[in-house]
Amino acid sequence: MAPSRSVMQFYSVLAESFLEGVYAVLVSLVIWILITSYHSMSTMHKVLFGSSITMFFIAAAHLALLIQEASVGVFPSPPVGKAIIILSVFQFVTGDLVLLWRVWVIWGRNYFVAAGPFVTIIIAAGFTINLAARPTINNFFHTVPVVLIVANTCICTLLIAGRVWYMQYCLKKIANCHAVLCPENTYKGAVALIIESGALYAACQLISLALHYVGSNGLSVMLNLEMPLIGILPTLIIVLVHFNMVPGTETTRHYAAAMKSQSSTNITLDTLATGTMILDEQLHSPTYYKSEA
């Protein structure tokens, strides 16, 4: 027999409490980094670390609401349900913006590539806030934001992983650069790329979408677990980027240098070829031989 909803909620609160404890340890590391490297840190990294701390407090508020509701045996009451939805919006948006920042960096700070996912984040947030404001839940407004959020996360993951793979392929082909992804670092680089691309984040959301589609009681458990996970996974990206432990940073730098070097080489070869053609034309012109005579 399947466990009752109350039992599922109990285990949900228990699991979320454990993940919140893990997140607390990670945030402690973030605070230590901010204290020790604040003056030498870029403004963007300060903002990212600040967003990580903000997501921790959002997840803590979400857990506090669940515990308060569990203590009175309601899962959850309508006002608390709306508050949870609003907290989820801020958590999802902040986590997706961290992923979007990584897309922007990996694609050479290209605003056009980041524009599509950014608009999707705003639309999904608007639908979700509208859901919280309605007295009753309409199926359209309940499904659309979920699909948009999952689709946006998957798109960002593909943009990051695909771009890194393409740049590494070009580096091996053009510059024969094996330093970016050498055999002994293949597994380490693969794990780092999985974290950097947000693949774990996307996997959690796909599982939630599948549970929603089949109408499983485990959906509420997964959604509750996602609150700290949405903070933990982007925070891992920020920390690994800060310590330069992800393949995307070095790959982007090597790729830009290789493209610049190749462009300079092509210009030099074109200049030499043009000069040779001009000299050849001068040597074969009648005017040249008359002047020599």
- Three-class SS of residue 62? helix
pLDDT the model gives residue 174: 72
Q: What is the CATH number of the domain that holds 159?
A: 1.20.1070
Give the tens place of pLDDT for each residue, 204-251. 888 887 887 787 777 777 878 888 998 998 899 899 888 888 777 777
pLDDT the model gives residue 244: 83
Asked if residue 140 is part of any domain, the answer here is yes
pLDDT the model gives residue 138: 53
Q: Which of the residues in the chain have pLDDT under 50?
A: 177-184, 267-269, 272-273, 275-279, 282-283, 287-293
pLDDT the model gives residue 112: 93
User: Looking at the 3D structure of the chain, how many domains does it have?
Assistant: 1
CA distance 96 to 152: 8
Joined together, the tokens standing for residue 168 give 């590494």
Asked if residue 206 is part of any domain, the answer here is yes
Asked if residue 286 is part of any domain, the answer here is no
Give the tens place of pLDDT for each residue, 69-84. 777 665 566 777 778 8
Find out whether 274 and 190 touch, Cβ atoms under 8 Å. no
pLDDT the model gives residue 291: 43
Q: Which of 97, 112, 70 is nearest to 221 (CA)?
A: 70
pLDDT the model gives residue 28: 95
Asked if residue 287 is part of any domain, the answer here is no
Asked if residue 280 is part of any domain, the answer here is no
Asked if residue 281 is part of any domain, the answer here is no
- pTM of full prediction above 0.85: no
CA distance 33 to 50: 11
Domain range for residue 86?
5-266
Joined together, the tokens standing for residue 119 give 């608009």
Question: What φ, ψ does residue 244 adopt, rounded to 5°?
Answer: 55, 50
Asked if residue 282 is part of any domain, the answer here is no
Helix extents (H) in the chain: 5-37, 43-72, 78-106, 111-133, 139-170, 186-196, 199-214, 218-242, 247-283, 286-292
pLDDT the model gives residue 49: 93
Asked if residue 288 is part of any domain, the answer here is no
Find out whether 205 and 149 touch, Cβ atoms under 8 Å. yes
